[in-house]
Structure 1
Amino acid sequence: MTMPFTPEREDFAASVADFCRRECGAREQRDALTDNGRHQHNSWLYQKMADLGWVGAGLPSEFGGSDAGMVDVCLFLETTARGMAPISGFTTSTIVAGAYQRFGSPEQRKLVLGGVAGGEVAAIAMSEPEAGSDVGALSCRAERWGDHWVINGQKTWCSNAHIANSILLVARTSSDKDKHSGLTMFHVPADVDGLRIHGIDTMGGREVNDLYFTDCELPDDAVVGQVDGAWGQLMAGLNLERLVLAAVMLGTAQRAFDDTVAYISERRQFGRPVGSFQAIRHRIADLATEIECCRLLVYRVAELVDENPDRMLPKEASMAKLKVTETAKRVALEGMQMMGGYGYATEYDMERHVRGTLISTVYGGTSEIQRDIIGKTYGL
C-alpha cells in the first residue's frame, strides 16, 4: 500500500488480501474455482465475502451494507483484482446498486440493495447489436398494456446476466425526435417468462450474454425512476461505473506487474537474471511509475465522489477509466514480452492478464469515447 490510507482502511485491505491469498492464491485453487478459467465468478467464494460484509461496502446499513464510500469500494476492487479473486459479479452489482440507490422505489431498494449486500448478483442491459457506444440508438421496446409493460427486443454484451438474480434493463418507451428522451429503466427478475439468456463465447470464457425478450411482461411497478427518464439516470451513474472499472484494472495492472517482476527476477539468461539488464529495468521503472499515477488518479476521483456523491465528474471519471485501462493493457502486453514464450503459455497467468486488459478498453465506454468526453469538457 502506497496511498496515505487511514489505519482502518489499511487493515481492511490487508484482510481482503489475506483472504485472497488463502482462498484463491494458488493457480490450482483458481482453476478449481473457475473451471480452468472458463468462468469469471464463483458464487461460493463470493458468498463467503458477502458473509464478511465486504460486498455491501458501498451500500447503506439499512440494507445490510456498511455505509462506506467510494474510496473503500475502490480499495476492495483493487485488492481483489490484484488477488485474482473470481468475483466478476461484484462489478456489475455495484454499478446496478448505485442506480437503485438513486432512483429505485423503497421496495426496489430493499429488494435489490439487500440482495446485493447478501451476495446476490445484479446485471445491467444497455447495449444492442446496433447500439453500442451510441446507447441512445437502442430499439428494445417496452410498451404499456393496461397495468403492465411488454418488452420485445434484444440486448447483447450483458455481463453476468447468466449468474444474476435481476437485470436492470434500459428500453425504449417512446420515439421522440430526441433519441435520448424516450428511454426507461426496468427491474427484470432474471427468471421472468419471456426472457432468454444466451452466452457469448469469448477469449475470457463465459462472462457476457445475449438477452432475447419476447412478449416479456413486467408489472407497472417494475419501472426504476421515471418513465422516459433513463438517459439522465444513466448519466448520473457514470462516475460510479467508470471508477469501478478503473479500480478493477488498477488491481489487474498491479498483479500483472507483480507477476512480471517475480519472473524476471528468477529467469536467468546469459548467466544472470533477465531483470538485471538495463533494458528490462527501465521498462519496469516506466510501468511502476504509470501504475502509481493511475493509483493516485483513481483514489483522487474516489475522494471527490465521497465529498459530493451527486456531483457529476465527466472529465475526471473518464480520465480515470481511460488512463487505467490503457495502462493495464500496456503492463500486461509488456509483461508478456518480457516473459517471452512463457508469457504466452497458459501455464502462467500473464496470458489471462492480457485477455482481461484488452477488453477493458472497450467495455463501459471505449477509450475513444472517453477521449471524446474529456475533449468536450474543454468546449471542443
Structure 2
Amino acid sequence: MKTAEQHAFAEAVDDFCRAHAGTREQRDALSEHGQHPHNPGLYAACARLGWLGAGLPEAYGGAGGGMTETAIFAERIAYGLAPLGGFVTSMVAVGPYLRFGTEQQRKSVVTGAANGAVEAISISEPGAGSDAAAIRCRAEAVDGGYVINGQKTWCSNAHLADHILLVARTSTHGDRHAGLTMFCVPAGVAGLTVRGIPTMGGREVNDLFLTNCFLPADAVVGAVDRAWPQLMAGLNSERLILAATMLGRARRAFDDTVAYVRERTQFGQPIGSFQALRHRLADLATELACADLLVYDVAARVDADPETQLPREASMAKLKATETAKKVAIEGMQMMGGYGYTTEFDMESHLRATIVSTVYGGTSEIQRDIIGRSYGL
C-alpha cells in the first residue's frame, strides 16, 4: 500500500504531465513529433522539483526515498507520455555506483543524475545479448589504467549521457561469467564513437565503438573481474523500473481505448456496449490490476530490505508488466480499428513502445527461464 505522501507525489507528477505534455501538440513540440523521446528542458524542470532523485539518498542530492518512489515517477511519466526517456536508463545506471562505486564516483554520477544529468549503461554487444557472458569488448591493463577496444550495441541514451557504465572483459580465465569489469566512461572521451541506430522509437539506442580508449584506473566501478555478481545484485531495480514504466504505458493505452469505445458508435450504439469488447476490456483491466499489485509489492519488499535479491519476483514483475502492456496495446489497436493504426491517435505509439519492452532489459523468455530455475527446474 502506498503512503499518503506517495499518493500525493503521484498526483503531483500527473498534474505536471497534464500541464506540460497533456496535448498531442505539446508532446510533438517537445519530442520533434516523437523522434526524440527525451526533452532536456522538461527533464531539467523535473530535476528542479527534486523528482529525479526521489528514490536516491539525500547524501547525493536525492530526496531519500526508495524503489517505490522511483517506480511511481517512472509509471506516472509513462502514463503522461512525457518525453523523459533518460530517467529509466539513469536510474538503472546509478544503482551499481551506489552499491559498488567510490565516493567520488557517487558524488559525480549519482548527484549528477539527481540534478538532471542523463546516465547510460552498456552491456550488449553484436554477439552478446541475452548471453552477457559472451562479451568480447576488451579492457587491457596498462600503466595507469586500461585501454578498451571493441564494439557495444543497443546502448540506450548514450548520445545524451554524461557517463556510460560499460562492461568489458578484463580476463579470459576461469568461469565464462568471470573476468568482466565495470567502467565509468565519460562522454566525449578520446577513442569513443557513438552512432545512432534507427528504430521505430526514434533516437533511442546506439552502437558504441571503442578504439584504444584509455581510462584511468579510478574509472573501474567496484572490483576488477567482478562485474557479473555486481550486475546480478542490481537486477531488482532494473527490472522493477522497466516494469513500472510499462505499467504506466499499459494504463494509458487502456484508458485511451476505453475513451474511444465510449464515443465511437456503430449500429446505433457505442461500441463499448457490445459484449465482445466489454469482456475484452474486463480481462485487460484485471490483468492491469494484477501487474500493479505485483510491481508495487516487489518495490515495497526492496524498500524493506534493500540488500535482498529477489530474482524470481523481480523477473515476474518485469514479465507481467511488459507482456500485459503489449497485450493492451494490441487489443486497443484492434478495438479502435483503422483509427488505432493512424498517427492521429496515440495507440500506434503505444504499440511501438510496448512491443520492444518484452525484449530489452532481459527478454520475456529469459525472465521465464529465471523464474523456472528459481523452482529448481
Give, in whole Å, the separation in 1 of the partners of 2:280 and 2:237: 32
Partner of 2:213: 216
Partner of 2:162: 165
Matching residue's letter, 2:162: N
Matching residue's letter, 1:316: E
Q: How does 1:239-278 map to 2 (within 5 A)?
A: 239-278=236-275
Q: CA deviation at 1:177?
A: 3.4
SS class of match (2:209): strand
Matched-pair identity in %: 65
Q: CA deviation at 1:88?
A: 0.9
Matching residue's letter, 1:140: C
Matching residue's letter, 1:287: L
* 1:142-163 Cα shifts (integer Å, max 9, x gaps): 0011112100000000000011
TM-score (norm 1): 0.99
Q: CA deviation at 1:23?
A: 0.3
1:368 aligns with 2:362: no
1:107 aligns with 2:104: yes
Partner of 1:61: 58
Q: How does 1:230-245 map to 2 (within 5 A)?
A: 230-245=227-242
SS class of match (2:211): strand
Partner of 2:37: 40
Q: How does 1:304-323 map to 2 (within 5 A)?
A: 304-323=301-320
Q: CA deviation at 1:74?
A: 0.8
Q: CA deviation at 1:93?
A: 0.4
Give, in whole Å, the separation in 2 of the partners of 1:311 and 1:204: 34
Matching residue's letter, 1:117: A
Partner of 1:176: 173
Matching residue's letter, 1:165: D
Q: CA deviation at 1:58?
A: 1.2
Give, in whole Å, the separation in 1 of the partners of 2:6 and 2:219: 37
Give, in whole Å, the separation in 2 of the partners of 1:52 and 1:138: 39
Partner of 1:345: 342
CA contact (8 A) 2:55 2:68 kept: no
Matching residue's letter, 2:160: I
Partner of 1:327: 324
Alignment match of 2:67 (pick from 64, 67, 70): 70
Matching residue's letter, 2:285: A
Which 4+ stretches in 1 moved above 4 angstroms? none
Q: How does 1:11-50 map to 2 (within 5 A)?
A: 11-50=8-47
Give, in whole Å, the separation in 2 of the partners of 1:248 and 1:189: 27
Q: CA deviation at 1:8?
A: 1.0
Q: CA deviation at 1:292?
A: 0.4
Partner of 1:120: 117
Partner of 2:48: 51
How many aligned residue pairs are there? 377
Give, in whole Å, the separation in 2 of the partners of 1:137 and 1:308: 32
Q: CA deviation at 1:7?
A: 1.4
Matching residue's letter, 1:324: A
Partner of 2:88: 91
SS class of match (2:165): strand
Give, in whole Å, the separation in 2 of the partners of 1:354 and 1:333: 6
* 1:275-303 Cα shifts (integer Å, max 9, x gaps): 01111100110000000000000000001
Give, in whole Å, the separation in 2 of the partners of 1:348 and 1:294: 25
SS class of match (1:203): coil
Q: CA deviation at 1:190?
A: 1.2
Partner of 1:281: 278
SS class of match (1:87): coil
Give, in whole Å, the separation in 2 of the partners of 1:352 and 1:42: 17
Matching residue's letter, 1:63: Y
Give, in whole Å, the separation in 2 of the partners of 1:313 and 1:10: 25
Alignment match of 1:296 (pick from 285, 293, 297): 293
Give, in whole Å, the separation in 2 of the partners of 1:359 and 1:243: 16
TM-score (norm 2): 0.99
Give, in whole Å, the separation in 2 of the partners of 1:148 and 1:240: 30
Matching residue's letter, 2:218: D
Q: CA deviation at 1:179?
A: 1.3
Q: CA deviation at 1:62?
A: 1.2
Q: CA deviation at 1:5?
A: 2.1
Give, in whole Å, the separation in 2 of the partners of 1:177 and 1:219: 25
* 1:72-112 Cα shifts (integer Å, max 9, x gaps): 11111111110011111100100111110000000000000
Give, in whole Å, the separation in 1 of the partners of 2:3 and 2:297: 15
Give, in whole Å, the separation in 2 of the partners of 1:188 and 1:57: 25
CA contact (8 A) 2:155 2:207 kept: yes
Matching residue's letter, 1:238: L
Unaligned 5+ segments in structure 2 are none
Give, in whole Å, the separation in 2 of the partners of 1:91 and 1:5: 21
Unaligned 5+ segments in structure 1 are none
Matching residue's letter, 1:195: L
